[in-house]
Structure 1
Amino acid sequence: MEPLRGADPARIARYRLVRRLGTGGMGVVYLARSAGGSLVAVKVIRAAHAGDPGFRARFRREVETAGRVRSPWVVPLLDADPEAESPWLATAFVPGPSLAEAVEAYGPLPGASVRFLGARLAQALGAVHGAGLVHRDVKPGNVLLAVDGPRMIDFGIARMPEDTALTASGMVVGSPGFLSPEQAQGRGREIGPASDVFSLGCLLAFAAAGVRPFGRDSAAEVLVRTVHDEPDLDGVPASLLSLLRDCLAKEPGARPTVTGIQTALDGGGGAGGWLPESLTGLIARRSAAVLALPAVDATEVSGTPAGVDTVPGWEDPPRGATRRRLLVLGTVAGVVAAGATAVRLTAGRSGHASAPGGGTPLPRLVLALQADLTGGDKPAGRAQENGVRLAVDHFNARADRGLSLALEVHDDGGSPARARRIARQLAADARVRAVIGPTTDACAEAVLQQYTRALLPMVSVSVGLDGASAREYRAYAATRPPDRNLPEPLVAYLVRTVRTRRTVLIDDAAEGDFSWEVCAGVADGLRSARRTTIRRTLAAGADGAGDFRALAESVTAAEADAVVFAGGCARAAELARALRAAGFSGARLATQRALDPRFLASAGDAADGWVFAAAFLDPARVTAAKPFVAAYRERFGAAPPWYSAEAYDATLFVAGAMAALGASRAERGAIAGRLRETDYRGITKRLRYTSSSTGYTMRALYLYRTAGGRFRFLGQYEEATVTG
């Protein structure tokens, strides 16, 4: 729900508007109360369409068709005025999510839930067909989930089979991916009840497996697959396969009837317990949010504000109100009351925090940090913990946040096995909405699948995995560039600053694929710049002074003017001393794996002049980070270390997505989706998602140089390597 905007009307007929539920090209849907206190959803058509006689006629037809259907599993039409200056209709309000939202946020439904869903929707379609109509747009977005069962909505394109308005040859009407072959081919006169059966089969396959049976590519490609290809039913439980294959038969006559589907599926689930606990909790929280809205008396104003449109309508109670309509209003109240019952069972797990000024407590959502706080990468892990804590405090101090964050900290010690145990714990804890971390690549690899299956957003700060595709791991957001990008600043420095002619690339076998990839990337970059490269390999077991002396002598013998080492800090220090002893005076470069105070301590004077490529900045040297630096010093009594500011940004990136959704909608899958829609500008970087496999794009690669026994930040590499 969103607050009303200044241009929104205060009232539509006898309904007092209290919130916005959604908006689209055709109009706006509002949450409203009648004077008697009943909650309804009011759909108001935009003025631009209201002036179109053809559109107004279609809207009138929608009202007529929706009013003909009688079923407990169809959201009932309560009221309408298609002749008003701004046409509108009012339906019962269901506080639950759509099936599309539920599957995107929580994954496929259990088999029993799918059976109950299918049986009730088949019953609803039976009522639609019994009224002489074909729904024509059966899809997950048109099914709402309530604690006692699903509700079908939207009769905007429902028609009688013989209706000529939508039977022109070649006209495709509906939603690709859930259309029947006869709809996909525009065979309008063949579109009957069997077409809805095919769409129901697509919907149930999506609910059971979490994927569309004919894919998610362009509309044209999906329509072609619908007509010619067999559906993809991988992931559908075996008990449902036969029925769904029958529903998805290409020929209408080969499909079962809705009565047959209901008979085949009845017995799965049960009212009040048909949904998994995660979805029941979501409905409970949304119901609680609705119940907390002010009563009509609290929102009433005398007269109509200047400039606010009203639509004439019935007084409350309306004259001639039927017993059925009063019963429907009672049913809607029952849906909300059922949600309130669930609130008593599940609300409070995330808790509430006091609102600014001591007002109504705000919902509290749990954010988890998983980091190496005691292992080999403890400095980075501790820096990230401190950055996250500052960000949570900063967010919770905002007056406009709408929710509060509670932080849980988990130490994996840099152990993949321990990381997996923590991931299982967090994935099973429904209170946890997102995870910041882990610290290391190895721990991230160990938990990616677990968090993906749980649709639990995993937002990493210091992980540089190359193989973590944003398409494969939809809940994963890396806020630093992958390791494969580290050669870019090295090449830029060699070409623009050093203007190297011959560069020796040293592949440290002890670092595995990382070192090989860095050397390969630098070689490719220098080759395109017409520079010469020479490859050398440092064996994984090399640890004696003689090994490094021989390697340094091979560099000088090659008459190189630059050397790139892709190993860690201890072996980089050994090489630094050996190169100094061999008299090498050319450029010496490495990556962030050697950018460690231990390198300075071990290499001594030989460390001076080395240049490092890194994916983190020095916040003390960044203007935008000055408030963060001051807050860090005040809180922790020291200058902020590397990766603390990046962790601060990652946390506010997630918190911003939660706040944009609102507490009632900030579920795991919804947060993951919102992160991909967010353009975040922080103190360290700007994060934007692209559809490419790289996921989040950012200009976040930097250069450091050692001088006087310290690492000195040179800046973003493109700016630090500008020639002239």
Structure 2
Amino acid sequence: MEPLRGADPARLAGYRLLRRLGAGGMGVVYLARCPGGALAAVKVIRAAYADDARFRDRFRREVETAGRVTNPWVVPLLDADPDAESPWLATAFVPGPSLAEAVEECGPLPYGTVRALGARLAEALDAVHGAGLVHRDVKPGNVLLAVDGPRMIDFGIARMPEDTALTASGMVVGSPGFLSPEQAQGRGREIGPASDVFSLGCLLAYAVTGERPFGRGSAAEMLMRTVHDEPDLDGVPEPLLPLLRGCLVKEPGSRPAVAEVRRALDGAGEGGGWLPESLVQLIARRSAAALALPAVEATEASGATAAHAPPGQETAVGPGGATRRRFLVLGSAAGVLSAGGTAAWWTANRPGRASTTDAVEARLPRLVVALHADLSGSGRTTGRAQENGVRLAVDHLNFRGGRGFDLTLQVHDDEGSTTRARQVARRLAADERVRAVLGPTTDACAKATLGLYQQARLPMVTVSVGLDDVSPTTYRVYTATRPNDTTLAAPVVAYLVRTVGARNTVVIDDAAEGDFSWRLCAGVYEAVRSGQRTMVRHTLAAEDDSADDFRTLAESVTDAGADAVVFAGGYARAARLARALRSAGYSGARLATQRALDSRFLASAGDAAEGWVFATAFLDPTTVTAAKSFVTAYRARFGTAPPWYSAEAYDATLFVARAMTALGASRAERGAIVGRLRETDYRGSTKRLRYDSSTYRYTDAMYLFRATGGAFRCLGDYRDATA
């Protein structure tokens, strides 16, 4: 979404033009206000094509075909004038990304979402075919995603099966990678409804895996594979495979009808939201951007310059003095949404061919970073916090004057699954545009993907991962911006020795937490044990989960006369231990780690949670003076106080950007960034990030929290909190 340019009209018929939504070789799409006040997407054909009688006839047919289809999942045509000096048409405005943008930014869609998507698109195609038409260009870029369902757009090459005006033998029309074999071979008279079914199968396979079933490459290569090769459906969930295989058979008569596709997928997404949270947030941000409209006079002044930019915009001077305006409310994505555009011959959009408009608009190089996170699994709270922090950092960088590049962000959800994480890692490793990865969120997913990122020499910069025993020489791509798990013993020890002065401590190893618990307990035990201090170690077996088990454990603490307890388990078992200790009459110090720092601990432990202290590798940014500007920006952007790990993700992103800046856009390749990160010294809002070869770490920032009054209060850096 961009401001209007000097040559853009302020009004068209009864529509007031507000912003540019997109531009291509044949025309421009504007965000406009309808005479009745609603928003619309208005497509205006360039004058060079308006003078071409054959093109004007083609546009007239587009208007006619679009007006014949009425369905909830088809963007409705509002108005049009194909005979105007500059032909135009207006459709309802959908404030959401295209399916192509959604997969690019957020990764493959969940199985349930893809079922709902397929059922509704099949219903839309049923309406198209019922009107006697074939869409002919079913692809991710022609599907917009809204909160209530998808919308199909662009009837630029839709035709009746018998219409040969644009489908003469040997002519290939549409988008390679999503064409049917009969389209790929230019068999115009054979292109019927079954062709749309094939394209729908390609689209659904892409939506659920992030990959085209006939691969990538040149148009000719994709067309050849479509005609002769079997589709690659690796990664498609098993329940979808039979249907997609049926849609993608080479012989049109053997494919299911769209009504059959709809019946096979129907019933999905009816019980609530059909989209994952990451896409709902994306749509919300873009809706907010669309509502932040400029004043009337801003859209009616032609030839506006950067010196007179409308309110709500920032102007920066780019290379050669070119001006650059952006909505402050927008994120860093290259475009706000994909609005309809007349489909061109595939040869007009083949790789390597840029339009004059593209050349004018490409002011700064774009460097791509990817967020690999758990956004919908058990770690989604942390993953979403990191996503918001990363987005804010990308915005911060892209609005900064004097920068040498723009950052473009991809977002990929591994759902907390190691299998899914490896799929994401393979995809990012193969995408040569991606210069660095932020994530994954969890230790397990980091372990599962580290080798893949190392093989691709792709920098893997984690925010919430604390892997022990990772060799910095073997895995040079691994940059952990938090201390590893073993070092969390340091704040525990400092609190025991300096703050409590504990003389008799019981350390409880929770076997359910595996090596993390064992190592932490061993570290605390060895550091505190001395002639003046007694240390007792207990192990809580993974299967010990009854009330009797915790009562016995609590009694052993009181029987030992302990004045401090250290528990290395998670929130659920920590809450049970807290209740058992209170029942046993224990009132000494109680310590745990960030694995128990969870609101569910407070809810389950109740009053017994009071006074527990937790060692963490993250802080509460609202308590840190240096993070004040981050907190203010986060509240303005997301309407809430920043959660844990959001500020750390913000700092990690700008740390990577600092390394890229030092290299320069032309030299910021994967391997160079890996090396530069070890030379970068970045003082962020939460911590200082720099590599210490003696400890093989980038930071030793650790903190303490205390449960008090039914909430967690950050005590600050453990060295200050225990001084």
Q: Once the two structures are superposed, what CA deviation does each residue of 1:233-264 show, in whole Å capped at 9, x if it has no partner? A: xxxxxxxxxxxxxxxxxxxxxxxxxxxxxxxx
Q: Secondary structure at the match of 1:541?
A: coil
Residue type of the alignment partner of 2:619: L
Residue aligning to 1:710: 711
Asked if structure 1 preserves the Cα contact closer than 8 Å seen for 2:479 and 2:698, the reply is no
Residue aligning to 1:438: 440
Measured in 2, the distance between the counterparts of 1:397 and 1:354 equals: 21
Match 2:588 to one of 565, 586, 589: 586
Q: Once the two structures are superposed, what CA deviation does each residue of 1:290-329 show, in whole Å capped at 9, x if it has no partner? A: xx999xxxxxxxxxxxxxxxxxxxxxxxxxxxxxxxxxxx
Measured in 2, the distance between the counterparts of 1:652 and 1:352 equals: 33
Q: Once the two structures are superposed, what CA deviation does each residue of 1:207-233 show, in whole Å capped at 9, x if it has no partner? A: xxxxxxxxxxxxxxxxxxxxxxxxxxx
Residue type of the alignment partner of 1:394: H
Cα offset, 1:691, TM superposition? 2.5
Measured in 1, the distance between the counterparts of 2:557 and 2:357 equals: 62
Residue aligning to 1:396: 398
Residue type of the alignment partner of 2:552: A
Measured in 2, the distance between the counterparts of 1:360 and 1:563 equals: 60
Residue aligning to 1:670: 672
Say whether 1:378 aligns with 2:409. Answer: no
Measured in 2, the distance between the counterparts of 1:348 and 1:537 equals: 65
Residue aligning to 2:597: 595
Match 2:498 to one of 475, 496, 499: 496
Asked if structure 2 preserves the Cα contact closer than 8 Å seen for 1:439 and 1:463, the reply is yes
Asked if structure 1 preserves the Cα contact closer than 8 Å seen for 2:498 and 2:722, the reply is yes
Residue aligning to 1:698: 699
Measured in 2, the distance between the counterparts of 1:599 and 1:634 equals: 30
Residue aligning to 2:462: 460
Match 2:643 to one of 630, 641, 644: 641
Measured in 1, the distance between the counterparts of 2:524 and 2:532 equals: 12
Residue aligning to 2:325: none
Residue type of the alignment partner of 2:673: I
Match 2:623 to one of 608, 621, 624: 621
Asked if structure 2 preserves the Cα contact closer than 8 Å seen for 1:564 and 1:589, the reply is yes
Match 1:469 to one of 471, 495, 509: 471
Asked if structure 1 preserves the Cα contact closer than 8 Å seen for 2:691 and 2:699, the reply is no
Q: Once the two structures are superposed, what CA deviation does each residue of 1:410-431 show, in whole Å capped at 9, x if it has no partner? A: 0001111100010000000000
**Structure 1 residues 563, 353: CA separation in 2 closer, same or farther (over 3 Å shift)?**
farther
**Structure 1 residues 352, 514: CA separation in 2 closer, same or farther (over 3 Å shift)?**
farther
Q: Secondary structure at the match of 1:689?
A: coil
Residue aligning to 2:661: 659
Asked if structure 1 preserves the Cα contact closer than 8 Å seen for 2:480 and 2:698, the reply is no
Q: Secondary structure at the match of 1:642?
A: coil
Q: Secondary structure at the match of 1:696?
A: coil
Cα offset, 1:659, TM superposition? 1.3
Measured in 1, the distance between the counterparts of 2:387 and 2:492 equals: 30
Match 1:555 to one of 550, 554, 557: 557
For 1:493-572, list aligned pairs within 5 A: 493-527=495-529, 530-572=532-574
Residue aligning to 1:163: none
Q: Once the two structures are superposed, what CA deviation does each residue of 1:360-382 show, in whole Å capped at 9, x if it has no partner? A: 61010110000000011110000
Give the structure with higher Rg (CA). 1
Query: Aligned Cα RMSD in Å?
Result: 2.4
Asked if structure 2 preserves the Cα contact closer than 8 Å seen for 1:687 and 1:696, the reply is no
Residue type of the alignment partner of 1:438: P
Cα offset, 1:530, TM superposition? 4.1
Q: Secondary structure at the match of 2:635?
A: helix
Measured in 2, the distance between the counterparts of 1:611 and 1:574 equals: 16
Residue aligning to 1:362: 364
Q: Once the two structures are superposed, what CA deviation does each residue of 1:512-560 show, in whole Å capped at 9, x if it has no partner? A: 1111111100001102584210011111011111110000000000000
Q: Once the two structures are superposed, what CA deviation does each residue of 1:647-689 show, in whole Å capped at 9, x if it has no partner? A: 0000000111111111110100001111111011100111111
Asked if structure 1 preserves the Cα contact closer than 8 Å seen for 2:572 and 2:601, the reply is yes
For 1:410-429, list aligned pairs within 5 A: 410-429=412-431
Q: Once the two structures are superposed, what CA deviation does each residue of 1:336-392 show, in whole Å capped at 9, x if it has no partner? A: xxxxxxxx998799x99999xx98610101100000000111100000000000000
Cα offset, 1:476, TM superposition? 1.1
Cα offset, 1:696, TM superposition? 2.9
Asked if structure 2 preserves the Cα contact closer than 8 Å seen for 1:353 and 1:363, the reply is no
Residue type of the alignment partner of 2:569: G
For 1:32-431, list aligned pairs within 5 A: 361-431=363-433
**Structure 1 residues 346, 469: CA separation in 2 closer, same or farther (over 3 Å shift)?**
farther
Residue type of the alignment partner of 1:615: A
Measured in 2, the distance between the counterparts of 1:677 and 1:352 equals: 40
**Structure 1 residues 480, 345: CA separation in 2 closer, same or farther (over 3 Å shift)?**
farther
Asked if structure 2 preserves the Cα contact closer than 8 Å seen for 1:354 and 1:361, the reply is no
Residue type of the alignment partner of 2:540: L
Q: Secondary structure at the match of 1:424?
A: helix
Asked if structure 2 preserves the Cα contact closer than 8 Å seen for 1:688 and 1:698, the reply is yes
Residue type of the alignment partner of 2:499: T
Q: Once the two structures are superposed, what CA deviation does each residue of 1:122-171 show, in whole Å capped at 9, x if it has no partner? A: xxxxxxxxxxxxxxxxxxxxxxxxxxxxxxxxxxxxxxxxxxxxxxxxxx
Measured in 1, the distance between the counterparts of 2:641 and 2:706 equals: 19
Residue type of the alignment partner of 1:675: L
Asked if structure 2 preserves the Cα contact closer than 8 Å seen for 1:452 and 1:474, the reply is yes
Aligned length: 378
Residue type of the alignment partner of 2:661: A
Asked if structure 2 preserves the Cα contact closer than 8 Å seen for 1:456 and 1:669, the reply is yes
Cα offset, 1:695, TM superposition? 2.6
Q: Structure 1: which 5+ runs fail to align? A: 1-291, 295-343
Asked if structure 2 preserves the Cα contact closer than 8 Å seen for 1:365 and 1:431, the reply is yes
Q: Secondary structure at the match of 2:492?
A: helix
Q: Once the two structures are superposed, what CA deviation does each residue of 1:625-665 show, in whole Å capped at 9, x if it has no partner? A: 00100111111111000000000000000111111111110
**Structure 1 residues 581, 716: CA separation in 2 closer, same or farther (over 3 Å shift)?**
same
Measured in 2, the distance between the counterparts of 1:345 and 1:431 equals: 18
Residue type of the alignment partner of 1:696: R
**Structure 1 residues 352, 547: CA separation in 2 closer, same or farther (over 3 Å shift)?**
farther
